[in-house]
Amino acid sequence: MLKTRFLNNDLNQFKLNPFLLILFFLISPLFLLAETKLIILGSGTPNPDPERYGSGYAVVVNEKAYIVDFGPGIVRRISAMSPTWGGDYPSMELDKIDIAFLTHIHSDHSGALADLVLTPWIMGRAVPLNLFGPIGLEAMSENITKAYIEDINYRLYGSQPANKLGFTSSVTEILKDGLIYKDENIEVIAFKNAHGDFEHSFGFLFITKDKRILFSGDTAVSKNLKKYGKNLDILVHEVFSSETFVNKTKDWQIYHQAHHTSSIDLGIIANELKPKKLVLSHILFWGAKEESLLSDVRQNFAGETIIAKDLLVIKSVSYTHLTLPTTPYV
């Protein structure tokens, strides 16, 4: 990890050695560029909380953004992080968004697919959208094209400038655990989780040069997640409140126990896996306070625990180029 604070002796060394000072300023942008960042785009659930959009995340490395889940509103959250709309991340310009991974096709995770297909194209994306996800994603993508064919044809053959590739999609459906994607920045491993009787549901392990980030997807306690969750820098895990779970009717209690993870159980999981950062997302509060969930987790896990909020950026290097020391990030 790159140090962000310098002792007086370090500063004196820079003063005495101009070569080291020049070298620092030359290579520091490269460290900033290469550092993997996790952006919370949406931390919500099927419940329409106006402060928490549908499930969605971006893993950003080397100025490339990889989207994980695309629940309702996510494209607008992506845009909010771009310089065009006042954000700090050029990789989040919509015309650069061309790859996304889907944990499962429940609507709170996939409801923005039409927006993800069409809006970046309208904004200038000239390559197909690469999609990776469970069985059903290809049909969903094809049906979106059919549903919007009049709009697509109007843009293609009317007076509006438009290219002929940006609205298309290349879909890879995941059939089993294992490596599903690899490029110069990242490896992505998919694994089946335990989302009740919903068979085609996955978690993802993202591996970059400096991070191991695991997304649980929607899941109850999962042995498979524990198998892939070793040596994590960040564990992003769904959760429901143990405190207010008791207020649910019996049928809903049965459902949630089979499909999701309680805040008490998540603390036990985190204590076993010991990630450097635990991020609680896709949170079913049911009226509980944030501190209640944190207290539940801390009964068993003493590590750093973060309540996800939309547009939160999580990274480890805590400085801005040419500024020493800098404002720390989460």
pLDDT in the model for residue 314: 95
- pLDDT, tens digit, 9 for 90 and up, residues 240-263: 999 999 999 999 999 999 999 999
pLDDT in the model for residue 29: 47
pLDDT exceeds cutoff 50 at 143: yes
- Give the span between the Cα atoms of 27 and 8, in whole angstroms: 21
Q: Which of 24, 28, 14 minimizes the C-alpha distance to 317?
A: 28
- Give the span between the Cα atoms of 70 and 130, in whole angstroms: 13
In this prediction, residues 195-216 reach a mean pLDDT of: 96
Q: Output the average pLDDT for the chain.
A: 88
Q: Which CATH architecture has domain 34-314?
A: 4-Layer Sandwich (3.60)
- Give the span between the Cα atoms of 229 and 278, in whole angstroms: 12
Q: Where are the domains of the chain?
A: 34-314
Kind and range of the H or E run holding 269: helix 263-273
Q: In angstroms, what CA-CA distances link 289 with 79, 118, 176, 282? A: 29, 37, 38, 15
Count of alpha carbons within 13 angstroms of residue 35, beta-carbon side: 22
pLDDT in the model for residue 177: 96
pLDDT in the model for residue 313: 97
61 pairs with which residues across the strands? Answer: 64
Is residue 33 very low, low, confident or very high in pLDDT (cuts 50, 70, 90)?
Answer: low
Residues 6+ apart with CB under 8 A from 255: 196
pLDDT in the model for residue 298: 97
pLDDT exceeds cutoff 60 at 50: yes
